[in-house]
């Protein structure tokens, strides 16, 4: 099986850097976290805490049962982390991991910690808001983010001795009626890999078991499993409620219409029996027995959530359901005791709960599907890697090591054990375990889920590859894939400003609906008793029953969930869709602002252009006879153009100058077939003049030189008018023109430039079609900037050249002062100030650049067309949010009056509570499915944009040297020192 070796990014050794430890009587004061296995209750954690507290040298002990972590502050010497671990094992518990905090906590200062809780039971934004509100009210809590899509609450807090976190956090969430199934200390998970990477902590190696590593690595997988468990619980609750509601509907609705009164079933149900001195109808007793478990067992979650919500003053949809069904149940129960037909309200209670649980089940299925993009990203994560270990005696320098010749061993290790400089073997079809550089071999890699590129890319030695979830890089603990997953999670947990309006409405929604329902009941009951309502309207019913049905329908049909789900579901799906197409959005607010952008600024180098010089033009001047005179008899079949390119590549093969590198790459691409049988020759007598050119002997017989005009004159090369014409035309296009010669004779003219990305021109046209004002700002010279602008069809008044980083910031501020909403697109490095200043900062980058703090969006593929996708998708998502929000508002504005009976006097038709429950359920589900429709989004095809028709003044083909010009320095950003021509007369 073919394979490739991947060398992880080389760098210095990873160490657990920390501030200098405090000195206590010549002892070091240290902190260690130890993962303890086997603790099942508070008695266990107390035993560990008490056992360690008695050991001399231990200053403090804190044991958390929820995270199974013991944090110990101790003196070293006499103690070490390993010795403390041994003491814990002597107490009868297992030690699964030893974590050196990174950075270590200052004992006398406040340390910020971050913890993630997996919260079960959240079904809509009202639930997540309740969790958010409860957690933010706790002391020392700095920030809270609650993601409905992953059911994760991320809390940052100040860890001081007066708080017992994360245990108190878990207790708070459970107190408001939700379940916590998982707790994760974020910093500990990040430092485990760092601590493991250091092979000499206290001169002791602390092994991390595969089970523990996978438990940390599969955090998101466990979240999805928790979602699946919650989905199964909702399905089970609905099925049990359906099992109770179905026979109730058969008894109360089907049998009376299917069988005549003389039927034995009808006679049995119509009998009366005496129980506890009460004369009760058999049908009422059976319906009561079937309804009670549905009301109080299947509907227990409504009462639980309502109770905790009332205690926390956060009222949601469950309060409305609990009130409506309880009112129906109590009214039916009283009617049954009085032998009144009102016992049929048992049917209303049971069917309401059944349909609401069906809606919750459908809603949970839909919300789970919003995390599909995140799930697909997670599947890319590798758990283990094949580490290549060269045998002793082989080359110590890995640059000289060849896996096909030198012996080595393979070892399957957890991905956290991959360190900078390690070599990893990748089998065909396997996931790439870490970000790195291809060292040997080649392989086609499908990274569509990371970069959005649909076509697999061939990776050859020297190419960067992206993997995950870790990268062997001491600067960052996460790889590109892990950063993408984290950014998508964070974006899904952040609110769009329009969501604040929805939350404010939802917060007062339930009390208002309860009051309206009560007033509806009183109004209808008063009208019935006062004779305002004709008795024919409620024939066969009592005024109380008639009025109560309106009140219950008003309660049940109201749906704050539809209002609350309008925004977060669209963000969940939209950010996932963006990640799938290589666009990372760092929050809902960014999405809303990006949808309103009307001006966009592009940096040139690395954004609109490739950022690396390349040979764009090659014009041979010498004749075939002249070049063939230098060919050996064995090389007589080689085309003269290819032979000339071979000579230039051989001359520049050892040079590190950017222009020389471009020439060598050009040669490797053009004459790849020739290099297989005739590799580049090693030049002799090589001479390079900085900023001018280079010369040397190739094959020890052919004097080859290449450089600018000054270098050509130095080499006694004569530039003919045709050569001058060719060079001038190249320079007018913003290219660096170079002359190549053999033995003092000019043989070719080469044009080198930073090429415009192939999709850049089409992307700029598409952005113009979207109505955006396009600017380009660069530190390059005006000549180069205008040449690039012509290729992009940008007007020169929208081009700012020779700009400093501060100039970019000034331009952003000036446009903003004119009322523009500005997006800045850059490479995320030297453009950081402008990216941060702009309303929306969009950076091009992969790997470590993905998490660029200055930008609001990241185009992972680095393509300009990704900017079109980002802005277009932002508009699509925000329009969907507005549609969802509008639908939710219209639904509630129309449905509540309908259920309250406002139109009853006109149509004499009442909305049954069961139909109201179905409408309520469908309103929530419809909003979620509306958001799910975003998954059908396709990025705009910028190549289909119609090219504009324009006219311009023509530049003549032949420009004679007699025209007046003077030599000036070339592109100020290029250190080549080449010379160009600037014409002083007007070119028409």
Q: What is the DSSP letter of 476?
A: B
Peptide bond into 853 cis (omega under 30): no
pLDDT of residue 220: 55
* Backbone Cα Rg of the chain: 37
pLDDT of residue 836: 80
CB-CB neighbours of 392 under 10 Å:
7
CB 901 within 8 A of CB 524: yes
- Banded pLDDT at 21 (limits 50, 70, 90): very low
Q: What is the DSSP letter of 949?
A: P
- Banded pLDDT at 980 (limits 50, 70, 90): very low
Taking each helix axis from N to C end, the angle separating 913-932 and 865-900, rounded to the nearest 10 degrees, works out to 170
Both structure tokens of 863: 């393509």
| DSSP sequence for 289-329 | HHHHHIIIIITHHHHHHHHHHHHTT---HHHHHHHHHHHHH
- Who has greater pLDDT, 636 or 952? 636
Pairing of strands 152-159, 141-147: antiparallel
Under DSSP, is residue 200 helix (H, G, I), strand (E, B) or coil? Answer: coil
Closest CA to 190 of 476, 602, 514: 476
pLDDT of residue 599: 94
What percent of the chain shows pLDDT beyond 90? 9
Give the chain's mean pLDDT. 74
pLDDT at 44 over 60: yes
pLDDT at 233 over 90: no
How far the first Cα of the chain sits from its last, in Å, is 63
pLDDT at 912 over 50: yes
Bridge partners, residue 37, by sequence:
94
Point out the least confidently predicted range of 198-202, 374-378, 478-482, 682-686: 198-202
What is the mean predicted confidence (pLDDT) over 11-19?
Answer: 30
What is the mean predicted confidence (pLDDT) over 256-270?
Answer: 83
> Domains of the chain (ranges plus CATH)?
22-99 (3.30.70.100), 228-375 (no CATH), 495-582+869-946 (no CATH), 583-609+756-868 (3.40.50.1000), 613-755 (3.40.1110.10)
- CA 607 vs. chain centroid, Å, equals 22
- CA 693 vs. chain centroid, Å, equals 47
Instruction: Return the biggest CA–CA distance within the chain.
Output: 126
- CA 692 vs. chain centroid, Å, equals 47
pLDDT of residue 494: 54
Closest CA to 436 of 487, 400, 479: 479
Closest CA to 31 of 107, 120, 117, 95: 107
208-243 as b/e, with b when 16 or more CB fall inside 10 Å?
beeebbebbbbbbeebbebbeebeebbbebbebbbe
- Who has greater pLDDT, 582 or 308? 582
870-909 as b/e, with b when 16 or more CB fall inside 10 Å?
bbbbbebbbebbeebbebbeebbeebbebbbbeebeeeee
Both structure tokens of 709: 């005009």
Pairing of strands 773-777, 599-603: parallel
Per-residue pLDDT tens digits for 315-357: 666 777 788 788 888 878 888 888 877 677 788 788 878 877 8
Closest CA to 133 of 312, 318, 303, 305: 312
pLDDT at 395 over 90: no
Pairing of strands 464-465, 436-440: antiparallel
| DSSP sequence for 385-439 | EEEEEEPTTS-SSGGG--TTTS-EEEEEEEGGG--TT-EEEEETTPPP-S-EEEE
- Who has greater pLDDT, 622 or 226? 622
Both structure tokens of 623: 């004749």
Evaluate if pTM is beyond 0.85. Answer: no
Q: CB under 8 Å to 104, separation ≥6 — which residues?
A: 16, 18, 19, 21, 30, 31
Closest CA to 128 of 514, 560, 515, 591: 560
What is the mean predicted confidence (pLDDT) over 480-505?
Answer: 59
- CA 813 vs. chain centroid, Å, equals 29
Per-residue pLDDT tens digits for 167-191: 888 888 888 878 887 777 764 333 3
Report residue 581: phi and psi, to 5°: -100, 15
pLDDT of residue 564: 67
Residue with tokens 């509806």: 520
Both structure tokens of 809: 């910031």
* Helix spans in 595-692 (H): 624-628, 640-652, 658-670, 672-677
**For the CA atoms of 953, 955, 957, 961, what is the dihedral angle to 10 degrees?**
150
Pairing of strands 799-800, 773-777: parallel
pLDDT at 468 over 80: no
pLDDT at 775 over 80: yes
- Who has greater pLDDT, 591 or 427? 591
d(CA 106, CA 108): 6
Residue with tokens 């926390």: 312
* Helix spans in 10-124 (H): 42-53, 81-90
Both structure tokens of 933: 């429709």
pLDDT of residue 357: 84
Peptide bond into 166 cis (omega under 30): yes
Q: How many helices (H) and strands (E) does the chain have?
A: 34, 34
pLDDT at 417 over 90: no
d(CA 295, CA 302): 10
Per-residue pLDDT tens digits for 961-974: 333 333 333 333 33
pLDDT of residue 277: 75
pLDDT of residue 741: 92
Q: Which burial class, exposed, middle or buried, applies to 853 when counting CB atoms under 10 A from its CB (0-12, 13-18, 19+)?
A: exposed
Q: CB under 8 Å to 886, separation ≥6 — which residues?
A: none
Per-residue pLDDT tens digits for 659-715: 888 899 999 989 888 888 888 988 888 888 877 889 999 988 899 999 988 888 888
Per-residue pLDDT tens digits for 424-450: 887 765 667 776 777 777 766 655 444
CB 119 within 8 A of CB 146: yes
Per-residue pLDDT tens digits for 282-298: 888 999 999 999 999 98
Point out the least confidently predicted range of 28-42, 507-521, 535-549, 647-661: 28-42
Pairing of strands 3-8, 423-427: antiparallel
- Banded pLDDT at 125 (limits 50, 70, 90): low
pLDDT at 245 over 80: yes
pLDDT of residue 403: 67
Select the highest-mean-pLDDT range: 406-415, 507-516, 554-563: 507-516
What is the mean predicted confidence (pLDDT) over 487-515?
Answer: 66
pLDDT at 847 over 50: no
- Who has greater pLDDT, 616 or 9? 616
Both structure tokens of 579: 């990640």
Both structure tokens of 315: 């009222």
Triad 659, 662, 663: Cα angle to 5°: 90
Both structure tokens of 522: 């009183």
d(CA 492, CA 877): 13
pLDDT at 871 over 90: yes
- Banded pLDDT at 814 (limits 50, 70, 90): very high
- Banded pLDDT at 507 (limits 50, 70, 90): low
- Banded pLDDT at 206 (limits 50, 70, 90): very low
Residue with tokens 């066969």: 540
User: Could you tell me the CA-to-CA distances from 920 to 248, 893, 925 in Å, in that order?
Assistant: 22, 13, 9
pLDDT at 601 over 90: yes
d(CA 254, CA 237): 24
Residue with tokens 């958010």: 132
Peptide bond into 78 cis (omega under 30): yes
Point out the least confidently predicted range of 93-102, 467-476, 625-634, 735-744: 467-476
d(CA 791, CA 864): 14
- Banded pLDDT at 933 (limits 50, 70, 90): confident
């Amino acid at each position: 099986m073919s394979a490739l070796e991947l060398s992880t990014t080389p760098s210095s050794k990873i160490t657990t850097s920390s501030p200098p430890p405090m000195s206590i009587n010549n002892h070091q004061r240290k902190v260690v976290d130890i993962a303890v296995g086997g603790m099942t209750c508070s008695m266990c954690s107390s035993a560990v805490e008490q056992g360690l507290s008695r050991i001399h040298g231990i200053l403090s002990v804190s044991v958390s049962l929820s995270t199974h972590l013991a944090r110990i502050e101790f003196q070293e010497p006499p103690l070490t982390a390993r010795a403390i671990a041994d003491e814990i094992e002597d107490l009868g518990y297992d030690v699964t991991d030893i974590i050196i905090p990174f950075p270590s906590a200052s004992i006398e200062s406040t340390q910020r910690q971050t913890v993630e809780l997996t919260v079960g039971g959240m079904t809509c934004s009202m639930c997540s808001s309740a969790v958010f509100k409860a957690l933010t009210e706790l002391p020392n809590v700095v920030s809270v983010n609650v993601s409905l899509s992953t059911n994760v609450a991320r809390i940052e807090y100040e860890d001081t001795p007066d708080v017992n976190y994360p245990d108190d956090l878990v207790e708070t969430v459970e107190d408001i009626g939700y379940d916590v199934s998982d707790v994760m200390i974020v910093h500990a998970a990040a430092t485990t890999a760092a601590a493991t990477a250091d092979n000499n902590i206290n001169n002791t190696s602390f092994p991390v078991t595969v089970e523990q590593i996978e438990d940390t690595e599969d955090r998101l997988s466990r979240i999805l499993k928790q979602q699946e468990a919650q989905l199964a619980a909702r399905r089970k609750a609905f099925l049990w409620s359906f099992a109770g509601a179905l026979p109730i509907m058969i008894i109360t609705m089907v049998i009376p219409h299917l069988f005549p009164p003389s039927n034995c079933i009808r006679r049995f149900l119509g009998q009366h029996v005496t129980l506890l001195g009460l004369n009760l109808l058999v049908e009422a007793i059976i319906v009561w027995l079937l309804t009670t478990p549905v009301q109080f067992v299947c509907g227990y979650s409504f009462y639980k959530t309502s109770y905790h919500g009332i205690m926390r003053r956060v009222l949601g949809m469950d309060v409305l359901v609990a009130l409506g069904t309880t009112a129906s149940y109590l009214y039916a129960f009283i009617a049954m005791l009085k032998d009144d037909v009102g016992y049929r309200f048992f049917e209303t209670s049971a069917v309401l709960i059944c349909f609401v649980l069906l809606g919750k089940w459908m809603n949970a299925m839909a919300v789970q599907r919003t995390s599909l993009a995140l799930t697909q990203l997670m599947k890319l994560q590798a758990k283990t890697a094949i580490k290549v270990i060269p045998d002793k005696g082989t080359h110590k320098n890995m640059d000289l090591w060849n896996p096909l010749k030198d012996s080595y061993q393979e070892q399957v290790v957890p991905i956290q054990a991959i360190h900078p400089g390690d070599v990893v073997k990748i089998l065909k079809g396997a996931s790439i375990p870490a970000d790195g550089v291809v060292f040997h071999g080649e392989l086609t890699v499908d990274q569509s889920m990371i970069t959005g590129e649909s076509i697999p890319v061939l990776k050859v030695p020297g190419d960067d590859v992206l993997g995950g979830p870790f990268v062997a890089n001491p600067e960052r603990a996460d790889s590109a894939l892990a950063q993408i997953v984290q950014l998508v999670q964070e974006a899904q947990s952040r609110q769009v400003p329009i969501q604040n309006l929805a939350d404010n409405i939802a917060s007062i929604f339930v009390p208002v609906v309860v009051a309206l329902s009560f007033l509806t009941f009183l109004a209808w009951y008063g009208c019935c008793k006062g004779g305002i309502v004709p008795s024919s309207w409620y024939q066969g019913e009592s005024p109380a029953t008639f009025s109560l049905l309106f009140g219950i329908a008003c309660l049940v049909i109201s749906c704050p969930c539809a209002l609350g789900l309008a925004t977060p579901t669209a963000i969940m799906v939209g950010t996932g869709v963006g990640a799938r197409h290589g666009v990372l959005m760092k929050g809902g607010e960014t999405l809303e602002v990006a949808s309103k952008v009307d001006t966009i600024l592009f940096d040139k180098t690395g954004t609109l252009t490739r950022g690396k010089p390349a040979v764009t033009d090659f014009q041979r001047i010498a004749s075939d006879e002249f070049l063939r005179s230098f060919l050996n008899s064995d090389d007589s079949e080689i085309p003269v153009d290819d032979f000339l390119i071979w000579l230039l590549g051989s001359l520049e093969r050892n040079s590190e100058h950017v222009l020389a590198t471009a020439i060598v790459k050009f040669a490797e691409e053009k004459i790849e077939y020739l290099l297989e049988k005739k590799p580049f020759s090693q030049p002799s007598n090589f001479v390079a003049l900085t900023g001018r050119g280079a010369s040397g002997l190739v094959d020890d017989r052919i004097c080859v030189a290449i450089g600018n005009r000054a270098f050509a004159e130095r080499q006694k090369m004569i530039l003919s008018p045709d050569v001058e014409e060719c060079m001038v035309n190249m320079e007018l296009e913003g290219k660096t023109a170079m002359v190549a010669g053999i033995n003092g004779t000019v043989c070719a003219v080469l044009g080198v430039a930073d090429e415009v990305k192939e999709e850049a021109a089409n992307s700029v046209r598409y952005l113009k079609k979207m109505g955006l004002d396009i600017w380009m700002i660069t530190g390059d010279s005006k000549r180069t900037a205008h040449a690039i602008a012509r290729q992009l069809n940008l007007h020169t008044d929208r081009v700012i050249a020779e700009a400093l980083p501060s100039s970019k910031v000034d331009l952003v501020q000036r446009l903003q002062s004119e009322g523009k909403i500005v997006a800045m697109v850059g490479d995320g490095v030297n453009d950081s100030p402008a990216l941060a200043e702009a309303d929306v900062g969009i950076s091009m980058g992969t790997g470590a650049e993905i998490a660029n703090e200055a930008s609001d969006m990241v185009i992972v593929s680095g393509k300009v067309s990704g900017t079109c996708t980002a802005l277009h998708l932002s508009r699509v998502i925000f329009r969907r949010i507005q549609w969802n929000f509008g639908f939710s508002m219209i639904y509630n504005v129309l449905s509540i009056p309908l259920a309250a009976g406002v139109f009853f006097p006109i149509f004499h038709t009442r909305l049954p509570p069961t139909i109201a429950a179905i409408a309520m359920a469908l309103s929530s589900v419809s909003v979620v499915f509306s958001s799910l429709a975003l998954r059908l989004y396709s990025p705009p095809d910028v190549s289909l944009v119609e090219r504009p028709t324009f006219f311009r003044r023509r530049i003549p083909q032949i420009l004679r040297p007699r025209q007046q010009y003077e030599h000036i320095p070339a592109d100020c950003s290029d250190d080549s020192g080449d010379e160009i021509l600037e014409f002083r007369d007007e070119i028409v």
